[in-house]
């Protein structure tokens, strides 16, 4: 498999960031934590990992632009790197071992390359448009599950400002719990999407995400033969409300959730 130079750089950057994250785990108590808002924590590690990723990419491509969780938008270019240096910060802060580094490269509005890296398991999920999705150099595909009955579904619970949608969300959760084999809430949307791509879960849904949570995962799933859309099954523009899954379970989930999606959540 010929790996594109841009993907190689993203992989290197993700591994470097992963090393910073893992090294810091033996001093979680002493981490400098600031709160971006109610229930939204950012640590010096998120920031150090993001600096490492942007610095590494810039060394090779000084003119590219960035959209990163901690820095926001940097520069203007046809090529934009969309970065979550540590997806699942709440898990990380508690020492709960489920978080990831997420890096996507978008060129002229189209996702071209994606990396999601789990630094604890050292699993690296990669995709380049038209070249398939891989986990540690093995090709991955979404699951072959055909019906909601028997499916394993991942989700994210609403938090912070999205708690205003809690009643609608709980109605969706009830339906999914009633019709599937089980629901998981691992806590890192980027890794959840990578697991959809690898067929470890059959589908995923969440409301109120950000582009850096979903960009890499979206390309992984598309290249693994799956679908990504809004809660009503419309095309997905990154960030916001998402359903992703194997084609069959994606369609079944869109249909199952439809009666419970309020007007305010119908857009992406």
Binding site for ligand 2AM (CB under 6 A): 39-40, 69, 84, 87-90, 156, 159, 187-189, 206, 213
Kindly state the smallest distance separating residue 90's Cβ from Ca ion, in Å.
10
Kindly state the smallest distance separating residue 86's Cβ from ligand 2AM, in Å.
6
Q: According to the binding rule CB under 5 A, does residue 50 interact with Ca ion?
A: no
Q: How far apart are the first and last CA of the chain?
A: 35
User: Considering CB under 5 A, how many residues would be counted as binding Ca ion?
Assistant: 3
69 vs 177: CA distance, rounded Å: 32
Kindly state the smallest distance separating residue 47's Cβ from ligand 2AM, in Å.
12
Give the torsion sign (CA, 170, 175, 178, 180). Answer: negative
125 vs 137: CA distance, rounded Å: 9
76 vs 101: CA distance, rounded Å: 23
Q: According to the binding rule CB under 5 A, does residue 192 interact with Ca ion?
A: no
Residue by residue, DSSP assigns 80-106 as EEEEEEEE-HHHHHHT-S--EEEEEEE
Q: Residue 156 binds what, of ligand 2AM, Ca ion, none (CB under 5 to 8 Å, by partner type)?
A: ligand 2AM
Nearer residue to Ca ion within complex by CB, 81 or 250: 81
Contact call for residues 40 and 48 (beta carbons, < 8 A) = no
Q: Residue 40 binds what, of ligand 2AM, Ca ion, none (CB under 5 to 8 Å, by partner type)?
A: ligand 2AM
Tell which one of 50, 52, 84, 206 touches Ca ion (CB under 5 A). Answer: 84
Kindly state the smallest distance separating residue 62's Cβ from ligand 2AM, in Å.
26
């Amino acid at each position: 498999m010929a790996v594109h130079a841009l993907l190689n750089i993203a992989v290197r950057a993700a591994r470097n960031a992963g090393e910073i994250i893992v090294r810091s785990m033996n001093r979680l108590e002493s981490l400098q934590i600031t709160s971006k808002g109610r229930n939204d924590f950012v640590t010096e590690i998120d920031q150090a990992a993001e600096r490492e990723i942007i610095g590494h990419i810039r060394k090779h491509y000084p003119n590219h632009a960035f959209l990163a969780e901690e820095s926001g938008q940097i520069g203007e270019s046809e090529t934009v790197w969309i970065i979550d240096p540590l997806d699942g910060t709440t898990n990380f802060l508690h020492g709960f071992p489920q978080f990831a580094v997420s890096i996507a490269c978008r060129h002229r509005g189209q996702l071209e390359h994606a990396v999601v890296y789990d630094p604890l398991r050292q699993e690296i999920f990669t995709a380049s448009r038209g070249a398939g999705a891989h986990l540690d150099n093995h090709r991955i595909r979404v699951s072959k599950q055909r019906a909601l009955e028997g499916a394993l579904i991942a989700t994210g619970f609403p938090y912070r400002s999205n708690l205003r949608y809690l009643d609608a969300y709980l109605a969706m959760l009830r339906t999914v719990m009633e019709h599937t084999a089980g629901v998981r809430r691992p806590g890192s949307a980027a890794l959840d999407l990578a697991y959809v791509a690898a067929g470890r879960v059959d589908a995923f849904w969440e409301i109120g995400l950000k582009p850096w949570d979903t960009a890499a995962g979206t390309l992984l799933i598309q290249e693994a033969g799956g679908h990504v859309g809004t809660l009503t099954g419309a095309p997905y523009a990154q960030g916001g409300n998402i359903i992703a899954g194997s084609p069959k379970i994606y369609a079944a989930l869109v249909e199952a959730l439809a009666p419970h999606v309020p007007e305010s959540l119908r857009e992406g």
